[in-house]
Amino acid sequence: MSNISSSFTLSQSQQQHLLEKLDVFKVKGRDKRGRNVLLIIGKYFPARMVSSEVLKKYLEETIYPKLGAKPFSVVYVHTYVQKSENFPGISVLRSVYDAIPMNLKNNLEVVYFLHPGLQARLFLATFGRLFFDGGLYSKLKYVSRLEFLWDHVRRLEMKIPDFVHDHDEELEYHPMMDYGLESDHPRVYTEPPSMDPISMYSMRCIA
């Protein structure tokens, strides 16, 4: 099994359990056009603990069937995503994208990218068309604030984690953070006590 660089060695079943426990991917709610929404919380993704093969299998068996054969949209929450923990790498992203069934690619109508940040915008502007086909790139819509997301998605049908709301409020008081500048009052996170890998990662991501 080919793992994304990992600090721990987990079995395939443990990796699948971790993805399920963290609720990284969830088909929940609808947008204003009545389409199902696939919600992805980037901060919860354990990139250093899950292999690309397990990820593709999990999506194929657990997530894709819930989308059905109808058009759908994606809400990707980029808030507090860190390259060292939550970003699986370009090759993995491309591998996962290539494995998506063609009917799902065709049914995906829009991707709402919440809290993109300057680096994400620059990366996608530079490499987005190279690594993903033009069809997907053209469906990408940046959303800088939750209030703008609710213009497109039914708010009462979707639960967004508290840390996303907190960051949204922080952006209102420190708007330069949208351009990659740090807040004057950076948030401090504490590490949990020593425990098994799955529980430890869960607490670090969901706290």
The structural domains of the chain, with segments of one domain joined by +, span 12-206
Question: What is the structure's pLDDT at 40?
Answer: 97
pLDDT tens figures, 106-163:
999 999 999 987 778 777 777 766 666 657 888 999 999 999 999 999 999 999 999 9
pLDDT of residue 6: 45
Q: Is 108 helix (H, G, I), strand (E, B) or coil?
A: strand
Name residues of the chain where pLDDT drops below 50.
1-7, 179-195, 203, 206-207
Please report which residue ranges of 73-116 form alpha helices under DSSP H. 83-86, 90-99, 102-107
d(CA 161, CA 52): 25
Cα(117)–Cα(181) distance, integer angstroms: 10
Please answer whether residues 90 and 48 qualify as being in contact, where contact means their C-beta atoms are separated by less than 8 angstroms.
no
What global pTM score does this model have?
0.79
CA atoms of 180 and 202, how far apart (whole Å): 27
CATH hierarchy code of domain 12-206: 3.40.525.10
Which of 195, 203, 205 lies closest to 8, judged by CA?
195
Strands (E), the chain: 25-30, 36-41, 72-77, 108-114, 140-143
Residue 67 · residue 36 · CB < 8 Å: yes
Q: What's residue 136's pLDDT?
A: 80
Instruction: At 65, list the tokens.
Output: 């069937």
Query: Which residues contact residue 30 at a Cβ distance below 8 angstroms, ignoring those fewer than 6 apart?
Result: 36, 37, 153, 154, 157
The pLDDT score that the predictor gives to residue 132 is: 67
For residue 189, give the DSSP letter: -
CA distance 151 to 32: 8
Instruction: Check residue 175 and give its pLDDT.
Output: 59
Instruction: For the beta carbon of residue 1, count every other beta carbon within 10 angstroms.
Output: 10
| Residue of 11, 18, 19, 100 lying closest to 60 (CA atoms) | 100
In which residue are the tokens 């996608």 written?
Answer: 124
